[in-house]
Amino acid sequence: MKLAIVDYGAGNIYSLEKALWHIGVETVVTSERRVLEGCSGIVLPGVAAFNDAALRIRDHDLSEVLRRQVKEGKLLLGICLGMQLFFEESEEGGCVPRTEGLGLLKGKVVRLPEGLKVPHMGWNTLEITKQGRALKGIGSGSFSYFVHSYYASAAETDCISATTDYGVQIPAVLEKDNVVGMQFHPEKSGETGMQILKNIKEMLK
Amino acid sequence: MLSKRIIPCLDVKDGRVVKGISFLGLVDAGDPVEMAGRYNREGADELVFLDITASSEGRKAMAEVVRRTAAEVFIPLTVGGGIAGLEDIDRLLHAGADKVSLNTAAVLEPALIGAAARKYGCQCIVAAVDAKRKADRNGWEVYIYGGKKPVGLDAVDWCKQVEQLGAGEILLTSIDCDGKKEGYDLELTAKVAESVGIPVIASGGAGTSADFYHVFQKGKADAALAASLFHYGKLEIRELKRYLQTSGIAVRL
């Protein structure tokens, strides 16, 4: 059972690897199609900028690979920015034309509103809206660690398993079949985060 | 609701936690990994390791400490002290640190903040600012080299500048209050927190639970850091958080 962590070529994925090793999940960091296809699940990690990550995915022709793997039923986990890549587009980076996301979920990624401290950084509470598989054993009011400046707006509401309140309601966990996204960092969220990663491990089977 | 963060800081020298004792200087105070684990169990929201080693050998020991801590403790870990360039940042992030704090190097070479933020993301880059009230009482001045050398920069202006350069957070230490245990510099903290749009960690001066309450309430800090107070067991983190919660401050319990 091996989890592939998609390599955008930059960013800090070491904490994520360490957390996954801690619960006995083997990892490989890769941007190669064959390696991705050979793993039991794929993670889009939560570091780097949207455009850089989206371009990297395009340059390595990974969009199609990822969409096909999802279609075939493989678990795809997106953390923070990784989750934002599930959507159609993002305001981040301000490129024209805007860099496209994977389009696995409908909606777009927008900047947190004016007047709020950005990034939204620190421990915030989850409001569970739907008891999905990723949140088994996690109750409303559990804290998880967020660090982000953009969030998924106009998401398909029936995919939202949990939200968090930061002046705006931010989708915190999204689940659509074998696609799971988290706006927070489970690898940095103490016991709550480790429980969520264990739930993900269960889903790999 | 976003909670206010309580952040214990550990001074690390040659891979060991040290604490300063009057007339004795620095004494060994244990294994940083063990202490990090203890603070995590007590409810710390993040951890800061401040490397006070002077030698390059000792710096390698720091990376090893980070590696061991990150394998066991799954809350955010910031490492600061003596970081001079992208190579140092790279080494610490590779070892498992989540953020690095830049102080003297950021003042001497401001472009480093931008370069590091572009490479690793703003969320990785903490600008550590040591500030001391000016002799004419008109504002605060930035100091570098561990608070020894004034550089003629206004602290509030510098904080605005590090935000523009790409820092994701500011660790603001009052040199005047540090070590006195008479409370944080509320005026400085509030002034900076109101002038920037990124989170501010207040540091220097915590002596009682009430000091934390005031720095969140009047100082408008997003997080508060303390070292010796937690270190000497004068205040237990969970106890502090219970006090803050009853006082109406949102904390993670």
Residues A75-119: tens digit of each pLDDT? 999 999 899 989 887 777 654 455 678 889 998 889 999 889 999
CB atoms within 10 A of CB B110: 17
**pLDDT confidence tier of residue A48, bands split at 50, 70 and 90:** low
For B220, name the nearest residue in chain A, comparing CA atoms only: A117
pLDDT in the model for residue A131: 87
Pairwise CB contact (< 8 Å): A190 & B74: yes
pLDDT in the model for residue A91: 78
CB neighbour list of residue A59: distance below 8 Å, 6 or more residues apart: none
Mean pLDDT in residue range B167-189 = 95
Average pLDDT of chain A to the nearest whole number: 89
Pairwise CB contact (< 8 Å): B98 & A12: yes
CB B226 within 8 A of CB B195: no
Q: From CA A183, how far away is CA A70, in angstroms rounded?
A: 20
Mean pLDDT in residue range A51-58 = 77
Is residue B40 pLDDT above 90, yes or no?
yes
Domain that holds residue A179: 2-203
Is residue B16 pLDDT above 70, yes or no?
yes
For residue B123, what is the DSSP state?
G
Residue carrying the six token digits 């999940």: A25
Q: Looking at the complex, does the CB of residue B5 fall below 8 Å from at least one CB of chain A? A: yes
Is residue B210 pLDDT above 80, yes or no?
yes
DSSP codes of every residue in B208-245: SHHHHHHHHHTS--SEEEESHHHHTTSS-HHHHHHHHH
Mean pLDDT in residue range B157-180 = 96
pLDDT in the model for residue B24: 67
Candidate ranges A30-34, B96-100, B243-247; pick with highest mean pLDDT: B243-247
Candidate ranges A12-21, A103-112, A171-180; pick with highest mean pLDDT: A171-180
pLDDT in the model for residue A65: 92
pLDDT in the model for residue B118: 83
Q: From CA B162, how far away is CA B114, in angstroms rounded?
A: 9
Is residue A11 pLDDT above 70, yes or no?
no
**pLDDT confidence tier of residue A10, bands split at 50, 70 and 90:** low
Q: Note the pLDDT tens digit of each residue in B42-100.
A: 999 999 999 988 677 777 889 999 999 999 999 999 999 989 999 999 899 889 999 99
> Which phi and psi angles does B152 have, rounded to 5°?
75, 15
Pairwise CB contact (< 8 Å): B123 & A119: yes
pLDDT in the model for residue A96: 46
- Supply the CATH number for residue A34's domain: 3.40.50.880
Q: Looking at the complex, does the CB of residue A11 fall below 8 Å from at least one CB of chain B? A: yes
Q: Which of residues 21-40 of A touch B (CB under 8 A)?
A: 21-22
Pairwise CB contact (< 8 Å): B120 & A189: no
**pLDDT confidence tier of residue A15, bands split at 50, 70 and 90:** confident
What percent of chain A is modeled with pLDDT above 70?
A: 91
Q: Using omega within 30 degrees of 0 as the cis cutoff, is the peptide bond preceding A186 cis?
A: no
Tell me how close the Cα of A13 comes to any Cα of chain B, in angstroms. Answer: 8
For B163, name the nearest residue in chain A, comparing CA atoms only: A118
Q: Looking at the complex, does the CB of residue A189 fall below 8 Å from at least one CB of chain B? A: yes
Pairwise CB contact (< 8 Å): B222 & A122: yes
Is residue B10 pLDDT above 60, yes or no?
yes
Helix runs in chain B, H state only:
32-41, 56-70, 86-95, 104-108, 111-120, 155-165, 186-195, 209-217, 228-231, 237-246
Is residue B21 pLDDT above 70, yes or no?
no
Mean pLDDT in residue range A158-185 = 96
> Among candidates B37, B39, B76, which has minimal Cα distance to B227?
B39
Mean pLDDT in residue range B126-145 = 95
Average pLDDT of chain B to the nearest whole number: 93
Tell me which architecture the domain covering B5-246 has in CATH: Alpha-Beta Barrel (3.20)
Task: For chain B, give every domain's residue range.
Answer: 5-246
Q: From CA B112, how far away is CA B125, in angstroms rounded?
A: 10
CA angle, corner A124, sides to A123 and A125, nearest 5? 130
Q: Residue A126 in 3-state DSSP? A: coil
ipTM: 0.93
Which burial class, exposed, middle or buried, applies to B112 when counting CB atoms under 10 A from its CB (0-12, 13-18, 19+)?
buried
Is residue B206 pLDDT above 90, yes or no?
yes
pLDDT in the model for residue A39: 95
Q: Which of B1, B69, B74, B171 should be substituted to probe chain A, the one whose Cβ sees the most A Cβ atoms within 10 Å?
A: B74
Whether residue A95 lies in the annotated active site: no
Pairwise CB contact (< 8 Å): B74 & A193: yes
Catalytic residue among B51, B98, B130, B211: B130
Residues in chain A: 205
Pairwise CB contact (< 8 Å): B222 & A117: yes
Candidate ranges A113-117, B17-21, B68-72, B237-241; pick with highest mean pLDDT: B237-241
For A48, name the nearest residue in chain B, comparing CA atoms only: B121
- Residue with the bigger pLDDT between A60 and A26: it is A26
CB atoms within 10 A of CB B53: 20
Whether residue A187 lies in the annotated active site: yes
Number of domains in chain A: 1
Q: Which of B1, B2, B91 should be substituted to probe chain A, the one whose Cβ sees the most A Cβ atoms within 10 Å?
A: B2
**pLDDT confidence tier of residue A49, bands split at 50, 70 and 90:** low
